Structure 1
Amino acid sequence: MTGPVLAVDQGTSGTKALMICPERGVIGTGFAEVRPRHLPGGLVEVDPAELYDSVIEAGSRALAEAGEPVTALGLANQGETVLAWDPTTGRPLTDALVWQDRRAESVCAELSAHADELRDLTGLPLDPYFAAPKMAWIRRHLTREGVVTTSDAWLVHRLTGAFVTDAATAGRTQLLDLDRAQWSARALDLYGLADEQLPEVVDNAQQVGVTREFGAEIPLTGLAVDQQAALLAQRITTPGGAKCTYGTGAFLLAHTGSEPRRGDAGLVSCVAWRLGGRTSYCLDGQVYTAASAVRWLTDLGVIGGAADLDAVGSAVPDSGGVTFVPALAGLAAPWWRGDLRGSLTGLGLDTGPGHLVRALCEGLAAQVVELAEAAATDLGSPLDALRVDGGLTRSTLLMQTQADLLQRPVEVSALPDATALGAGVLARLGSEPDLAVADALPDWKPAAVYEPRVPAGEAAERLAGFRRAVATLLDGAAG
């Protein structure tokens, strides 16, 4: 048995690091905050140095708390956050455009005639959420110098000198041929990126280099995009299961096996991971604003923070007729209307903070139901249950609302940091090539299971109200 691994999850609002021992579990933790800038017009950017510094700070804290040697490093990343940088010096040439950033809508509009071709080729709809439109925008408006990549390639280069990205992260660009899990010459040509120097696409578990940034030499042996890392940690490694992570956004992933499944229900088809040269695939659905919508309510002074959701929401029996479509950064799957903004309807003089909190929980849960139903449609059978993780799963009100509207059990993971744990699993697999995947996974058991408490008819009625509010938004945009 090898020693502990350091698992780092570089996220949108912070970086979490865990020191994970195969026998004793988590023996050290570290966290460093990241502060993206939200600018007018749907722009979201962050200083790349802040991303890198957060990795070093969080990792160093976890190592110091554990006080033991580490055998390998695993790194999870945000997925669709991009920047240009100098491959000789590692110096950033632009700020990082965060996955929520919408400035590349103009690029997508120009490519609208090729939307179906790109979706068939890459599994992804034409949307500025993904990396390729942002990469093309940077090339047109900011700089032609250096390389332009997702943030993971830059972080790995800074850590080790290697120029690589993992297959799952590459699958979030709209530049990867989904069937072959290789860069697509056609997609690159459509985006005007044919002459770009791109990182090598590698397996999610293999040694890509060695870092000395934490002191002693540590092999970097695990790489993943955040949501796929969480899917692995939740032990969803075969078709039929799904998980939803409630972070800055909410992300539902369903495993589809060794073949990509291109459905027509509005979900994304992408690489789950590639291990030993064998690719597994998943369906992916997104809610752009989850914890960020809670933060919005907090900034307005309605609540003091996410910890207040239950206390404030439980002060009233229902939403009081208020309906909240929390599309504060646009509507993602299954509608793919990032140009839309949220709506808050049914307000009255008697509307209080509790009604707004309940309406927010209902709106988030209803969007996740849409994703779960789309996954069931594409898979051809309903999901048995939903495994969930992420900070907002601490809210009893949100989780019970989720179970009520989904009409399925919601199993809250006992693993509070599933993404980091998934990165740790990949680090172990990369450092021990003979280890079976099942033997590297953490034991899974729910910390809580929420069963539906309302009849199916009431759930359907509440969902219908949410869908009417979404239809109003869509009709208004069409008008």
Structure 2
Amino acid sequence: MAKYILAIDQGTTSSRAIVFDAAGLPVATAQKEFAQHYPADGWVEHDAEEIWRDVQSLMREAVAKAGLRGSDIAGIGITNQRETTVVWERDGGRPIHRAIVWQDRRTADICRQKIADGVGSLVQKKTGLLIDSYFSATKIAWLLDHVPGARARAEKGELCFGTIDSFLLFRLTGGPGKTGIHATDATNASRTMLFDITRQDWDEVLLKIFDVPPAMLPRVLDCSGEFGIASADILGHAIPVTGIAGDQQAAVFGQACFQPGMVKSTYGTGCFALVNIGPQPVLSTHRLLTTVAYRLNGKPTYALEGSIFVAGAAVKWLRDGLKIVGGAAETATLAAGVPENHGVYLVPAFVGLGAPYWDPDARGALIGLTLDTGRAHIARAALEAVAYQTRDLTAAMKADGAEKPTAIRVDGGMVANDWLCQFLADMLDVAVERPKVIETTALGAAYLAGLAVGLYAGLDAVAYGWHCERRFEPRMNAETRARLYAGWQKAVRRVLTRD
């Protein structure tokens, strides 16, 4: 019996393929960054064909590094950057335009108009989301209205919409003379602004509000189960795709946050904190999102989510934009090299601000500079901003009725930074737990795929496999914590364009 899972982790700046063994431990990894396209201010695009080419080569590379063959892989799990929107031809799978990325703000005016039309409460009641260009619905409409002939073709059923997971599934299961499987899972569907999270189905009223033809929508399935069979052309063996979840929900699964009240926070390009709220959706009154955490055997579990658009992307900006660090690891050394932040704050609103502000027109600011400010202060400010934004989210969760957690489980590439983890614990005044496997997004996809093929007996078996690598306890005094956070709040007010 094949005892390995191949996880595809398709992120915002890079794609990865990771082979996991039956114990949930990574055996081999292959990763590649891909091009970011910025055709206008606030616009962000990806070449979906480039992503597809990379994913195929990375799958082969990871399996080869592991010393395995395709026949050793029991199932494929997919996790993906959410909300990023692809429209492609049903016949052949060719995208009609570059993918519009979740960070993209080109439809902000459309969203403002929808809010002015008074449909915001209806949309939130059905979807758990606040109307924003972050989500897929207005991106789909933009593509149909700006690519010649696209709307007519979509209404005829000639075009497919999907988030990246759906596009990859279509291409994995297609091939010469064979149309791919057009499906997605409930977590990705819940991020489109078109999906009723209570009824667990596409909603006709929402489709009309956002002018999206139903013929182009994928079928919505559970997160764990057989989605289709990946072509033998890729790994020399036909392998079932048995798990799909959006990246943040996959991290919930990889962190084994299966009990209500458990919180995970992922630090990648952005930062996303989710608290499990159980089998009933509860709408936020403090500008958080209600989303599907996972769906198994037709039964959804829900979460409250706070979404921060820029976390690791700010460190990337220090490296590639300002060129003041050579790599992400250098920020920890720089931050530790200065005794305090010197009053310097970075508000990384490069593509607007997410929760709890939801201000698409806000722009970044570096505040508090003096002649004594050096690159260490700026690097520290970038890391501190991640913790301040996380506190914004946990404060909103508390205001929505969530109990203060005994610990927050963190993951993502940024949490390899010990300085950041300690500052998080200090600013949140709660223990921060870093797991043995910090790439829990890919691990969650692997767990979902493994459940479907019998590698794991159930959620208890997954939870048993979670191990804490290091626990960071808060050690900052309350006065310092309050002073630093007050400075952050003052800095944020400087960039907000709405109340």
**TM-score of the pair, normalised by structure 2:** 0.92
SS at structure 2 position matched to 1:111: helix
SS at structure 2 position matched to 1:317: coil
SS at structure 1 position matched to 2:8: strand
**Does structure 2 conserve the Cα–Cα contact (< 8 Å) formed by 1:211 and 1:218?**
yes
Give the C-alpha shift of residue 394 in structure 1. Answer: 1.5
Corresponding residue number in structure 2 for 1:198: 217
Q: Does 2:123 align with 1:118? A: yes
SS at structure 1 position matched to 2:444: helix
Corresponding residue number in structure 2 for 1:46: 46
Corresponding residue number in structure 2 for 1:158: 171
SS at structure 2 position matched to 1:79: coil
Aligned residue among 196, 202, 205 for 1:183: 202
Task: Tell me which amino acid in the other structure corresponds to 1:410.
Answer: V
Give the C-alpha shift of residue 23 in structure 1. Answer: 4.2
Q: Which runs of 5+ in 1 are unaligned?
A: none
Task: Tell me which amino acid in the other structure corresponds to 1:226.
Answer: D
Q: 1:470 to 1:168 in 2, by over 3 A?
A: same
Task: Pick which of 396-405 and 142-151 moved more.
Answer: 142-151
The CA distance in 2 between the partners of 1:128 and 1:389, in whole Å, is 26
Q: Write out per-residue CA displacement over residues 245-268 of structure 1, whole angstroms, 9 at most, x where no aligned residue.
A: 110111111111001111211111
Q: 1:380 to 1:295 in 2, by over 3 A?
A: closer
SS at structure 2 position matched to 1:153: helix
Task: Tell me which amino acid in the other structure corresponds to 1:25.
Answer: L
**Does structure 2 conserve the Cα–Cα contact (< 8 Å) formed by 1:247 and 1:390?**
yes
SS at structure 2 position matched to 1:471: helix
Q: 1:92 to 1:468 in 2, by over 3 A?
A: same
SS at structure 2 position matched to 1:449: strand
SS at structure 1 position matched to 2:337: coil
Q: Write out per-residue CA displacement over residues 132-153 of structure 1, whole angstroms, 9 at most, x where no aligned residue.
A: 1111111122232322322221
The CA distance in 1 between the partners of 2:9 and 2:24, in whole Å, is 20
Q: Write out per-residue CA displacement over residues 103-130 of structure 1, whole angstroms, 9 at most, x where no aligned residue.
A: 1112212211211211111100011111
Aligned residue among 482, 490, 493 for 1:460: 482
Q: Write out per-residue CA displacement over residues 38-80 of structure 1, whole angstroms, 9 at most, x where no aligned residue.
A: 3431111011111111211221111112223111111111111
Q: Does 2:140 align with 1:135? A: yes
SS at structure 1 position matched to 2:273: strand
Corresponding residue number in structure 1 for 2:100: 97
The CA distance in 2 between the partners of 1:98 and 1:324, in whole Å, is 24
Corresponding residue number in structure 1 for 2:6: 6
Give the C-alpha shift of residue 459 in structure 1. Answer: 0.6
Corresponding residue number in structure 2 for 1:413: 435
Q: 1:416 to 1:457 in 2, by over 3 A?
A: same
**Does structure 1 conserve the Cα–Cα contact (< 8 Å) formed by 2:137 and 2:210?**
yes
Aligned residue among 331, 336, 339 for 1:317: 339
**Does structure 1 conserve the Cα–Cα contact (< 8 Å) formed by 2:450 and 2:456?**
no
Q: Write out per-residue CA displacement over residues 126-185 of structure 1, whole angstroms, 9 at most, x where no aligned residue.
A: 111111111111112223232232222111111111110100000000101011111111
**Does structure 2 conserve the Cα–Cα contact (< 8 Å) formed by 1:107 and 1:133?**
yes
Aligned residue among 411, 421, 432 for 1:389: 411
**Does structure 1 conserve the Cα–Cα contact (< 8 Å) formed by 2:187 and 2:292?**
yes
Q: Which runs of 5+ in 2 are unaligned?
A: 154-158, 174-179
Q: Does 2:467 align with 1:445? A: yes
Give the C-alpha shift of residue 27 in structure 1. Answer: 2.1
What aligned pairs does 1:42-441 form with structure 2 within 5 A after superposition? 42-68=42-68, 69-112=72-115, 113-142=118-147, 143-144=150-151, 145=153, 146-160=159-173, 161-212=180-231, 213-299=234-320, 300-432=322-454, 435-441=457-463
Give the C-alpha shift of residue 440 in structure 1. Answer: 3.9
The CA distance in 2 between the partners of 1:90 and 1:336, in whole Å, is 34
Measured on the aligned residues, the alpha-carbon RMSD in Å equals 1.7
Q: Number of aligned pairs?
A: 477
Give the C-alpha shift of residue 433 in structure 1. Answer: 9.4
Give the C-alpha shift of residue 441 in structure 1. Answer: 4.9
Give the C-alpha shift of residue 28 in structure 1. Answer: 2.2
Corresponding residue number in structure 1 for 2:176: none
Q: Write out per-residue CA displacement over residues 347-389 of structure 1, whole angstroms, 9 at most, x where no aligned residue.
A: 1111101111122222111000111121222244212211101
Give the C-alpha shift of residue 24 in structure 1. Answer: 7.6
Give the C-alpha shift of residue 460 in structure 1. Answer: 1.4
Task: Pick which of 375-384 and 102-111 moved more.
Answer: 375-384
Q: Write out per-residue CA displacement over residues 285-332 of structure 1, whole angstroms, 9 at most, x where no aligned residue.
A: 111111111111112122112111111122211111112211122110
SS at structure 1 position matched to 2:44: strand
Give the C-alpha shift of residue 194 in structure 1. Answer: 3.9
**Does structure 2 conserve the Cα–Cα contact (< 8 Å) formed by 1:373 and 1:382?**
no
SS at structure 2 position matched to 1:43: coil
Q: 1:433 to 1:314 in 2, by over 3 A?
A: closer
Task: Tell me which amino acid in the other structure corresponds to 2:203.
Answer: S
**Does structure 2 conserve the Cα–Cα contact (< 8 Å) formed by 1:256 and 1:379?**
no
Give the C-alpha shift of residue 2 in structure 1. Answer: 5.3
The CA distance in 2 between the partners of 1:23 and 1:459, in whole Å, is 40
**Does structure 2 conserve the Cα–Cα contact (< 8 Å) formed by 1:303 and 1:312?**
no
The CA distance in 1 between the partners of 2:58 and 2:394, in whole Å, is 34
Give the C-alpha shift of residue 432 in structure 1. Answer: 2.5
The CA distance in 1 between the partners of 2:336 and 2:423, in whole Å, is 12
Give the C-alpha shift of residue 195 in structure 1. Answer: 4.3
The CA distance in 1 between the partners of 2:457 and 2:469, in whole Å, is 27
Task: Tell me which amino acid in the other structure corresponds to 2:55.
Answer: V
The CA distance in 1 between the partners of 2:409 and 2:430, in whole Å, is 11
Task: Pick which of 319-328 and 179-188 moved more.
Answer: 319-328
Runs of 4+ residues over 3 Å off in structure 1: none
Give the C-alpha shift of residue 197 in structure 1. Answer: 2.4
The CA distance in 2 between the partners of 1:67 and 1:97, in whole Å, is 37
